[in-house]
Structure formats: C-alpha cells, structure tokens
Structure 1
C-alpha cells in the first residue's frame, strides 16, 4: 500500500511537470506586415515574432514559421509592428488639475486610485514602460508593485517616490501659511539631510532619485531660473544615489541649475528650458540626457487654464523652451522622450515625438529612437526594452501605416502587448 501511495505521488508530480513544460513552451506567433527596426530604420516584411511567456524568443520569416500544435496566432499582417514606447517623465498618480484647493485636498488614497486609472490609459496609448518621477507617500511604489503582481494593468515602471527639493522650493508645500508648518515630503537642506533623504527613498522602494535643481512652474513663489540646491548638495545626492545603484533625474529650468546638476553627475536634465551653450557643452561631455517635456507647451497654449500664480511662469518658460531645445538637439545633446504627463492629460504621450520631428527637426527615426533605444539606455534597461529582439520583454505595439513617414500615427495605437499579454487589440475592428 505504501509503495502504491508513493507511485501515485510520483505520477502526479510527473503529470504536473509535463503540464508546466507544455505551458512553458506554448508560443504566440505575431504575424506582421512589417517590423520597424528602431536601430536602423529597416522595415522587413512578412516576419513572425515568436513569443514564449513574457519574452521574445525569435524572429523569423513567416513563410518558414508554420503554426504548431498549441500555438496562438495573432494576425498583424496589415500593420507595422514596433517596440512599445517609453516615457521617462510621467506622473501617473497625479491628475491634470492645478487648482490650489484640489492640490491641498489630495490624499494618498486618491493618488493611488488616480494612478490605477492613468496607468491603464498610458499602457493603452502604446507606452509599455515609464519612469514616474515624483509621487507623494510612495504611491508610485505601490502602483508599480501592483502592476508587477498582475493586479492592475499598466506599464513597466521605474519610480522615484517623493522628489527632493529645498525648503520653499519647487518640491515643497508652499500653498499654506506659516501656522500650518507644512513641508513637502522630499524637502531636505544640507548635505547630511539630502543623504538621509536619498537613503530613505531607496529604503521605501525608489528605483531612481528625482530632484529639483531649480524652481518650477507649477509651484508657488519660486523662480524657474533660480538654482536651488548648492553644488555640494547636488554632489552628495548623486554620490549616494549612484553608489546605491540609482540614477538621478534633475528637474532644471534655469541655466545655472542645469549646469551645476550636470557637473555634479546627474543622469538626466528634465525640462531644460533655459539651456545655454555652456550647459550644452557640459551635457555633451558627460553624456547627460535631455528630457524635453515639450508638448506640454502646445497643449497649455491651446487648452490650459492655469491659476494666475502659475500662468505667468508658464508663459515665460514656454517662450524660451523650444528655441533652446532646438539648439541643444542640433549640437548633439542626447534626448530621451519625456512628457510630464499630468501637466496635460495622460494618454497623449506620443504627441511629444511629433514636436521633436515637426518642430525640432529630428528625423522620424531619431524621434522614435528617443522613446525606444534612448529611453531604454537612460533607464539602464537596454537588456529588457527598447527594441524587438530575442530575450527582451515582449512589449510590442502595432501601427496602421508607416511611422517613419508620419510619426503622428503613433498617437493612434490599435494593438498593445506587454510582457506577452495583449492589453489592447482593435485590429479586428477594421
């Protein structure tokens, strides 16, 4: 009897093992019209992307890739297929509402719920990977973890938690009077304090460190052109972050803050509105990325209704930003796509590429590269995302038409796959 019992257990284990092996080898075959190679611009026709689990396992001609038993086929033969897009400057847990009362009435619960909604919208817009650069109460950490656990749909995320800033600066809470003694969660002054804040953010789950090197637009009482952190503070932040394996993204509008942050070793300059020749030279020397967040200027001009305490700053920054960006790009500063989504509605992220191509003079391929290989490089994720290649995550979108002829096609994405799971498929509605 004991031998029979052991035999039954062994048979059950063998059965489960065989089932697991069958599941592991089940393939999805994406039959494509063309695949856009975002490195070279080549668009080979009639290729099949073979996916097993969450990874791309191979790419082969469709003619030489017959369907096998258990395979799932997806017909994208009328579409151009390309890697999922990447936005390295989002605020998924924030809404497009800058009324001071709305800001003051925000709670962690509201931020979390807003984040769930915006994560889905962003993913369905074709952005399968994002960096979230600034969120209170580590709500972006919670959102990332719930997406990774499969509980809610959303892009792959790197998150910063509360952004670091000086007392009274862009990351502080400046709307309330003195008697409330309110402070932003990431406020830290002096070298010991900024070191502590970097370490605390990492303790609670931050993948990167976000800082404010200058004043900002959507904050009360500070000047976007004024530098905020000192060089000593910036160097301490970067040293601790890099030693602990985290990159540093620096909000910086003014030229001095851009220069100091670059010389201190940050990995990216976010916004860069008043970038000048000295900043450009320093960024090129160090390989620092510019994250332009440029489409928000157009959206705000056409649709924005900011409170008076923000509006003049937005007008001033908008007047300077684009000409300076064009000069930096022409000089060869590296660019990664970032939008500041939340300043305008989430899901419009691909409009940023339109600005790079049709206003800044990039080629369509170079514009697409900002949101694929460049963004992946900035994130340190070139082994996972940014191209359609074997062993990378199966993060794939399909476009009707050729985005190298019209990048505006990226604003309408009918098919989205992330990690081998289809989250949007409107191709069968044609």
Structure 2
C-alpha cells in the first residue's frame, strides 16, 4: 500500500504541476497565435506590368494579394483594396511574371567536370554540389524544375532538403537514375572492362525495365527518365542510334503510368523519337533529328517536346576546358544546328513545346539564355515565356498550382526592370524572386 504524501509536500507538487500546465498552455497558445498571425499576414505586390500568360497579354497597374504561400487575388489597383497591415512590395516600375520552369535540368551535375573529369566526383559530392546549383537556379528566377537524371538518388535528397527548408532551391520533380541499355547513353562507358562497371539505371528487356521503374519509384522518383537513343556526351555511341526497343519502351511507359509517374525520353535520333512517341512517353527530350512524321505524331498524341537549343553554344565554346570528350564535340557539331532548325519546324508544325535546357551541361543559373534562341528560331517572346510557364506546368502535371499568376496558385513570382516582351534576353536579369510567398531575392533596379 502506497503512503500518501504529507500535505505540505503534496501542495508543493500540485503548485509545480499547475505551473507547468499553465506554461505549456501559454506556449501552445503562443504558437497558435503565431501560426494564426502568419496565416493572416498578407503581402501585396504592386505590379506596374503583369504578364498574363494564360491570356497572352500584359496587364497594367495590378495588385497581387498573397496570403501564406498562395495567391489570394489579382486585379487592377483601382479596384483592389490593400488590407490593413499588409506588407507591400512595390514593383510598379517592373514587369512581373510567373516563376519560370525548366523541364530539363541536372542540378547535381558539374558543368566544369565532364567526361573523364567526372569520374572523380562521388555521389555525395554531386548532391552537395546540387545545393549550390539549386540556389543559383532559384536566384535566376526558375522557381520549379524537373530534374531528369542523377546518380545516387542525389536529386531525391536535394528535393527533400529543399522541401524540408534545409536549403533554398526551386520546387523539384525528380527522376533519380535514368534508365537505359547496357553500354548505352545512360550507362557509364568510361571505365575499362576490368572494372565491370554498369550503371544502376541499366535495364535490358521489358521485365527488367519494369522492375527498374519500380525501383526508382520505391526510392522517391516523381517521374521516369529513359534513354531511347544514344547521346552527345556519352562515350562509344552514336547520338542518333536507337537504343531501347519499342517493346521495352512500351513496358516502361505502362509500368510508370500504372504507378502514377510520367515518362521523359532522351532521344536524338529519328527512329528512337518516333518509337518513344508510339510507346506513349509524355515528353521527348532533345528531339534533335525529329522528322515530319515525329512532329505529326507528337502533335496528335499530345507528346511534349523539350528541345535544349542553347547549350550548343556552351559545348562548342567551352567544351575542351570543361572536359568534354573529343567525340562529344564532334557529335555536337553534327547535330547542334540541325536541332535548332528542327525546333523551328516542330513549332511551326504545331507540336507542344515546353522549356528545357539541360542545365548541368552549362553553368547553373544561365537557364534563361535559351529564350534568345527560342525567339530566333520561331517563337514570339510571349510564346517563349509561355513555354517556360503555363506550358511547362502542364507537362509537369502542376498546372493547377504553378505556371501563371492566378488566384489559388502558389505565389511563385519574378520581376525584371525592363520589358522582356520587347527584348526576351532581359529574362537573364531577373531582379526579384518570390517562391511560395517567400521573398528569395528582394527587388532592386540595376
């Protein structure tokens, strides 16, 4: 039988317990009040010019009301009332746009260590390099990216670190390892036979490929990346040669779609592009040697084309210094201009086009340099901007959340103190960046 505490001691314990409960209650109340205050806090952006990518027009003197990470409302300054206590960001001298989207990046890739120089980089080091690349990309105005290929699940780790608030970076959809055939573009062909090295994304045959899709999804992939043809930067293959068969690609697409994942197909060569489209991939990356049949199928099936027509400049201009293989430089000389010419044909042929640059081949943060070439090869500045906003959001399956400045969407907003519709290269000089309602780069007029 337990003895009762003496009255004096019992009173002391009761007082201490009451004090602790009161402190806990006050702490909880304080946290609730802080959360409520945060939710109630409204930010207002005064936009001198606002690019409405959905309506293909520019609106003047607009107010954007933001609460938390979402846009509360958008409308003319004359009709929208600024709430009392709201934080006001004055961009009345700027052009305001939705945060940009790059649908083809490699944030863990070091653009200064290609070819054999890349062998000295561990997966952990690549992921840590990605921290800097993510910051540079976000500061350049790209608030969302699709990362299509990274070893060691480094892009999965980077995405999670950004989502957890450990490091700044764009919103990321990631593929982890790219899938391909043994000895193909997505294998590691730089080491001699005695190393018996095979890339983790290698999968030969339909059922092995299905299993590899399941593995990528198990470890965090948001989408599946495959190599339908050879590549420019790989050793020992022809960029235009088909690698995965139609049967293998059909198996991958069926498995990925069953698991709720889209499929992006690296494809330079004509037959590989066409079979990837027939297999039902969601996007064809590069599409360098696409022909009239491929353009027609892409248009009819709604397959997106993501054509990286800037980095030819970097590869041929900085290639030797960056460690590109001599055969890679030769391959780029063969297909670089053809890709740009086919970009024009694909656009004129009515194909669905989304902005993607292959960042990591060139330095991260230079993504917006591609806009110049998109306009040079057929698009208007508005169409190029739409490719990097509402169209890319559609490809990513995120159209309801990003891609335009509309009520209910994430407050992903950028600004430039010039008119990018008069000179699209001004998008390389982004002066203000907001992601999810948080100011990443405060406004400044250079």
Q: Which residue of 2 aligns with 1:354?
A: 372
Q: Within 2, Cα distance between the matches of 1:343 and 1:11?
A: 54
Q: Within 2, Cα distance between the matches of 1:325 and 1:72?
A: 43
Q: Which residue of 1 aligns with 2:209?
A: 194
Deviation for aligned residue 1:18: 3.7
Answer yes or no: is the 8 Å Cα contact 1:98–1:307 preserved in 2: no
Q: Which residue of 1 aligns with 2:302?
A: 287
Unaligned runs of 5+ in 2: 1-13
Answer yes or no: is the 8 Å Cα contact 2:145–2:170 preserved in 1: yes
2:400 to 379, 383, 394: 383
Pairing 1:345–2:363 present: yes
Pairing 1:320–2:338 present: yes
Q: Within 1, Cα distance between the matches of 2:78 and 2:296?
A: 50
TM-score (norm 2): 0.92
Q: Deviations for 1:197-249, whole angstroms, at most 9, x for unmatched residues?
A: 00000000000000000000101101111100111110000000001010000
SS state at 1:45 partner? strand
**Against the structure 1 CA distance between its residues 68 and 310, is the aligned structure 2 distance closer, same or farther, given a 3 Å change threshold?**
same
TM-score (norm 1): 0.95
Deviation for aligned residue 1:289: 0.6
Q: Deviations for 1:108-154, whole angstroms, at most 9, x for unmatched residues?
A: 12111110010000001110000000000100000000001111010
Q: Which residue of 1 aligns with 2:221?
A: 206
Answer yes or no: is the 8 Å Cα contact 2:177–2:201 preserved in 1: yes
Q: Which residue of 1 aligns with 2:4?
A: none
Deviation for aligned residue 1:20: 2.5
Q: Within 2, Cα distance between the matches of 1:27 and 1:325?
A: 43
**Against the structure 1 CA distance between its residues 56 and 253, is the aligned structure 2 distance closer, same or farther, given a 3 Å change threshold?**
same
Q: Within 2, Cα distance between the matches of 1:11 and 1:134?
A: 49
1:111 to 95, 117, 126: 126
Deviation for aligned residue 1:401: 1.9
2:415 to 398, 409, 426: 398
SS state at 1:251 partner? strand
Q: Which residue of 2 aligns with 1:215?
A: 230
Q: Within 2, Cα distance between the matches of 1:45 and 1:85?
A: 20
Q: Which residue of 1 aligns with 2:381?
A: 364
Deviation for aligned residue 1:7: 8.1
Pairing 1:415–2:432 present: yes
Q: Within 2, Cα distance between the matches of 1:287 and 1:124?
A: 32
Structure with higher Rg: it is: 2
Q: Which residue of 2 aligns with 1:256?
A: 271
Pairing 1:45–2:60 present: yes
SS state at 2:52 partner? coil
Pairing 1:307–2:325 present: yes
**Against the structure 1 CA distance between its residues 15 and 43, is the aligned structure 2 distance closer, same or farther, given a 3 Å change threshold?**
same
Q: Within 2, Cα distance between the matches of 1:16 and 1:209?
A: 41
Answer yes or no: is the 8 Å Cα contact 2:91–2:443 preserved in 1: no
**Against the structure 1 CA distance between its residues 11 and 147, is the aligned structure 2 distance closer, same or farther, given a 3 Å change threshold?**
closer
Unaligned runs of 5+ in 1: none
Answer yes or no: is the 8 Å Cα contact 2:393–2:403 preserved in 1: yes
Q: Within 1, Cα distance between the matches of 2:79 and 2:116?
A: 61
**Against the structure 1 CA distance between its residues 10 and 320, is the aligned structure 2 distance closer, same or farther, given a 3 Å change threshold?**
closer
**Against the structure 1 CA distance between its residues 177 and 39, is the aligned structure 2 distance closer, same or farther, given a 3 Å change threshold?**
same
Of 341-350 and 372-381, the range deviating more from structure 2: 341-350
Q: Within 2, Cα distance between the matches of 1:241 and 1:407?
A: 37
Q: Which residue of 2 aligns with 1:245?
A: 260
SS state at 1:295 partner? coil
Deviation for aligned residue 1:42: 2.2
Deviation for aligned residue 1:319: 3.6
Q: Deviations for 1:86-127, whole angstroms, at most 9, x for unmatched residues?
A: 000000000113543321111012111110010000001110
**Against the structure 1 CA distance between its residues 216 and 74, is the aligned structure 2 distance closer, same or farther, given a 3 Å change threshold?**
same
Answer yes or no: is the 8 Å Cα contact 2:116–2:190 preserved in 1: no
